[in-house]
Amino acid sequence: MSVTSLERVLTTLSQKEPDRVPLFLLLTMHGAKELGVSIKDYYARGANVAEGQLRMLTKYRHDCLYSFFYAPIEVEAWGADVIYVEDGPPNAGAPLALTTEEIKALEPPQVRGNPVLGKVFEATAALKAKVGDAVPIVGVVMSPFSLPVMQLGFDRYLEVMHEEPELMTRLMAINEQFCVEFANAQLDAGATAITYFDPVSSSTIIPPARYLQTGWEVARRTLPKINGPTATHLASGRALPIVDPLVETGTAIIGVSVHEELAALKAVCRGKLTILGGLNGIEMRRWSPEEAEAAVKEAIRQAGSGGGFILSDNHGEIPWQVPEAILLAISEAARRWGRYPLKDGKGSA
């Protein structure tokens, strides 16, 4: 009997070895290439994203559907502008609020019935109708702690975080409300799990001691209110110093950085968290097929044994510039070297 992608992922989440290492190709913009449209036109309709994801699932034979559109879709729902480019992800426009009075006046938008967020629910429901429970559908929210980078701009947010505690408390409260409502609406639409993107909590951006006072407390309040499993992704940020606190938030998966040794991360996370990552999305743009296979083989060698590992890029979004040939090479290599039992823990043909 063949193993479904969802069964494969659930087995590795239980810290056991499935038939092979699960592969998540977290492709977003590449769906526009599949449909032959611009990135802006692609994201105009939920049906486009659903069709793009289904085509990429068939082409690359990986183990997830990714209902993520683009990071600033959340602040777009609050009223912010989005800037589109031809060969990269959409970016947030001007900050929503800068002055203390403007920040105090921020109110979260209605989630259900929102015309911007509705596209996400449309895509998610279409994917669920097509695959049922065979393939995990991965939804995304920005963490309440990281969303202010787009709401206020990074510099203003750091001022609020460090110098205006009362304003920080209010901002976290409204962002937590929005985050939970958006996550649960995606789950209701058919998402299997929610990725909680939280780069500001990474040790790359703030010291671990500061994280324990801020992002960790936010996650401990927020994640239990999400009505489904969660993965915390630090979007290329370092995770080693905060693994144990992350476990206490109740998250099941951690998206890790290529700037830390994968074997060291696996040693710390073994039996506690499933690791997602191992492949450098930026370097992927310049790989040959042989280099792609070597990278896959090495990631599996370092983290594959004993389950608890999902092969993926390190950032949570594969760049537009990564060619189809390399994505196909990664997929083939994952099948070749990721089949259990791994030969001496190092993969087997």
- Taking a C-beta distance cutoff of 8 angstroms, is the pair 195, 140 a contact? yes
Tens-digit pLDDT profile for residues 236-267: 999 999 999 999 999 999 999 999 999 999 99
Quote the tokens at residue 276: 């997602």
Res 184: pLDDT: 98
SS3 (DSSP) at 141: strand
Would you state the pLDDT for residue 349? 39
Q: Kindly report the CATH number assigned to the domain that includes residue 113.
A: 3.20.20.210
Is residue 273 a contact partner of residue 256, using CB atoms and an 8 Å limit? no
pLDDT at 345: 44
Q: What is the pLDDT of residue 343?
A: 79
In tens, the pLDDT along 172-230 reads 999 999 999 999 999 999 999 999 999 999 999 999 999 999 999 999 999 999 999 99
Position 348 scores a pLDDT of: 43
In the chain, what is the straight-line distance between the N-terminal and C-terminal CA atoms, in Å?
A: 21
Count CB atoms within 10 A of the CB of residue 334.
28
Q: Is 310:23 a contact under the CB 8 Å cutoff?
A: yes
- Residue 146 in tokens: 């990281």
Confidence of residue 271 (pLDDT cuts 50, 70, 90): very high
Domain count, the chain: 1
Assess contact for 221 and 178: CB atoms under 8 A.
Answer: no
Report yes or no: 304 and 338 within 8 Å, Cβ to Cβ.
yes
pLDDT surpassing 70 at residue 169: yes
Is the residue at 203 inside a domain?
yes
Q: Quick check: 163 pLDDT over 50?
A: yes
In this prediction, residue 344 carries a pLDDT of 56
Confidence check: pLDDT of 162 > 80: yes
- Residues 205, 208: Cα–Cα separation, whole Å: 9
- Distance CA(76)–CA(116), nearest Å, equals 7
- Alpha-carbon distance of 138 to 23, in angstroms, equals 13
Which whole number is the average pLDDT over 136-152?
A: 98
Average pLDDT over residues 304-322: 98
In-domain check, residue 349? no
Distance CA 98, CA 267 (A): 43
237: in domain: yes
Q: What is the pLDDT of residues 6-35, one digit of tens each?
A: 999 999 999 999 999 999 999 999 999 999
Reduce the DSSP state of residue 159 to 3 states and report it. helix
17: closest CA among 247, 275, 339?
339
Encoded tokens for 57: 């699932």
Contact between 279 and 295 under an 8 Å Cβ cutoff? The reply is yes
pTM: 0.97
pLDDT of 347 higher than 60: no
What's the rounded Cα separation, in Å, for the pair 218 and 234?
A: 15
- Of residues 116 and 348, the one with the higher pLDDT is 116
Has residue 123 been placed in a domain? Answer: yes
pLDDT at 97: 96
Range of the domain at 155: 5-344
